[in-house]
A = this chain, B = another copy of it.
């Protein structure tokens, strides 16, 4: 058993409150007493119990970031944005996985008020749980769904417009037969990106395929398999718009294996501009958005904790690289500047 504040008090020959004050740097403790206390605490290897302090103060000074998949390449920059703001408030950040349904750590932490606020990305936490636990002392920000409720805020990106821009660009480059490589149909992001795809086709008088031919579950392997299946059908499109970059990368792999050239035979545009996108060959054209800023703004909303919902929508930006054929959009060099400008939107949009 490790030492408690009582042990320290006994050893230093003072009251527990004195120990508490001394160790929390209260100004009203004399230097001599403080030294005595510190010495005793060190001698006993005393470490205050966070659980006790949290119970007493009724807050943990930590906020939680809940993600579907801790390892995803997509999240890292979001995490950094969150981390930055959390640290600037002198708070702690814990990241944990929503994997495991009702018994996941995320569920427990949400229910048990382990954290003072939460940022949720991914669909594993139900709308109803979020609405139930959100409160003045427990604000929640959701990142990839639309959800209205007291003390629930949304940070979104212009998914529909991004999808539109991607497909309109392909059309401008002369592609006419553009397939949509879909993520999970239930995913909000996916649905919106698909709407943008449809709008671009319609506005250019192109037929919208009756049904989505390819489903890739937002995964590299999923994109690969979906394209393999498509290739077997022998009905080849001249371009593919993938609902995220990972699937686009899988698609490219499958096309290469089949001896098809990207972009000459089939052009590809992804979505998200993950770190990998410029590194693969051909470099992936995609729709970029500031993931860092999504995280940072979400975190600011947590600390603001207003009852009325805020809905922040951040812009997306076509980034044309090799995989779509002709670099008619933003050049890669310009991209850094664009990201910098995206970083300063901060507009608060109400629905």
Interface positions of A from 62 to 90, Cβ below 8 Å from B? 62, 70-73, 75-77, 79-80, 83, 87, 90
Q: Which residues of B contact A62 (CB under 8 A)?
A: 105
Q: Is A105 a contact partner of B92 (Cβ separation < 8 A)?
A: yes
Q: Which residue of B lies closest to A283 (CB)?
A: B281
Asked if B275 contacts A73 (CB within 8 A), the reply is yes
Judged by a CB distance under 8 angstroms, whether A347 is at the interface is no
Residues facing B in A132-184 (CB within 8 A) are: 132-133, 135, 137
Instruction: Tell me the bound Cα distance from A250 to B271 in angstroms.
Output: 23
Contact of A79 among B71, B114, B133 (CB under 8 A): B71
Q: How far apart are A218's CB and chain B's nearest CB, in angstroms?
A: 15
Most chain B CB inside 10 Å of its own CB: which residue of A70, A109, A113: A70
CB of B95 within 8 A of CB of A83, answer no
Chain B residue numbers with a CB within 8 Å of A137 are 2
What are the interface flags for A83-112 relative to B under an 8 Å C-beta threshold, 1 for contact and 0 otherwise?
100010010111111011001010011011
Q: Are A112 and B47 in contact (CB under 8 A)?
A: yes
In the docked arrangement, what's the CA distance between A103 and B276, Å?
A: 32
* Shortest distance from the beta carbon of A89 to any chain B beta carbon, whole Å: 12
Q: For A105, what are the chain B residues with a Cβ–Cβ distance below 8 Å?
A: 62, 92-94
B87 lies within 8 A of A80 (CB): no
The yes or no answer to A206 lying at the interface (CB within 8 A) is: no
Least Cβ–Cβ distance between A337 and chain B, in angstroms: 18
Is A26 engaged at the interface, CB distance under 8 Å to the other chain? Answer: no
Chain B residues, Cβ within 8 Å of A75 = 71
B133 and A47 contacting across the interface, CB-CB below 8 Å: yes
With contacts A135-B2, A137-B2, A281-B281 taken as known, whether A50 is within 8 angstroms of B109 at the C-beta atoms is yes
Residue of B nearest to A112 (CB): B50
Q: Which residues of chain B are near A90, meaning CB under 8 Å?
A: 103
Q: Which residue of B lies closest to A61 (CB)?
A: B108
Taken residue by residue from 1 to 13, chain A's Cβ proximity to chain B (1 for < 8 Å, 0 otherwise) reads as 0100000000000
29 CB contacts below 8 A, A to B, read A2-B113, A2-B135, A2-B137, A47-B112, A51-B55, A51-B112, A51-B113, A53-B112, A62-B105, A70-B76, A70-B95, A71-B76, A71-B77, A71-B80, A83-B99, A87-B99, A92-B96, A92-B105, A92-B108, A92-B109, A93-B96, A93-B97, A93-B105, A94-B96, A94-B105, A94-B109, A279-B280, A280-B280, A280-B281
- Besides the contacts A49-B55, A90-B103, what 10 more A-B pairs have beta carbons closer than 8 Å? A2-B135, A49-B112, A50-B109, A51-B51, A51-B60, A51-B114, A52-B55, A276-B279, A280-B280, A281-B281
